[in-house]
Structure 1
Amino acid sequence: MKNAEIRALSLEDLKTQIKAEQTNGQSMRFAHAISPLENPIRLKQARKNVARLLTELKRRENEQATNTAN
């Protein structure tokens, strides 16, 4: 998921996507522990997607807090 796609998401969609990516990453880790994944780089990509989503969520929360304080 690219940053432009992440910025286009609504707040609720962003939270839903975070949960989905975390669940997906966890299931991939479990599957990889049992038998190696065909493409283990997907684990790294899943972690990065979660980090991007969380960064955008934090940015929006900080922006909202700044706007509320002013």
Structure 2
Amino acid sequence: MSDKEFTSKALSGLSVEKLREKVVFLKKELFNLRFQKTLGELTNTTRFSMVRKDIARVNTELTKRKAGGSK
């Protein structure tokens, strides 16, 4: 995933359904990272914080849409 994919501008152009799909994908990725860490295969531990922040960005956009109506 590129860093530009999770900017507020990029996220605001997506539909609610696409945002929900991104959250599901990111949560699966976070699960896989935890699994790799347990097995000792994880080399880039900073990916944890990056994925968590991406999940937070997408959830923030979903909350904005919910509070402000549909966009």
Q: TM-score by structure 1 length?
A: 0.83
1:41 aligns to 2:43 (yes or no): no
Are positions 1:12 and 2:25 aligned together? no
Structure 1 residues 35-61: Cα deviation after superposition (integer angstroms, max 9, x where no partner): 152111011000000001001001100
Distance 1:36 1:44 in 2: 17
Correspondence for 1:58 = 63
Structure 2 SS opposite 1:49? helix
Tell which structure's C-alpha radius of gyration is larger: 1
Identity of aligned residues (%): 26
What is the alpha-carbon distance in structure 2 between the residues aligned to residue 14 and residue 8 of structure 1?
10
Q: Kindly provide the amino acid, as one letter, of the partner of residue 57 in structure 2.
A: R
**AA matched with 1:6:** L
Q: Deviations over 1:5-62 (max 9, x none)?
A: 1111111100111111111111111111211521110110000000010010011000
- Secondary structure in 1 matching 2:69: helix
Moved over 3 A (4+): none
Q: Distance in 2 between matches of 1:27 and 1:60?
A: 29
Q: Mark the runs of 5 or more structure 1 residues left unpaired by the alignment.
A: 66-70
Relative to total residues, which structure has the larger helix share, 1 or 2? 1
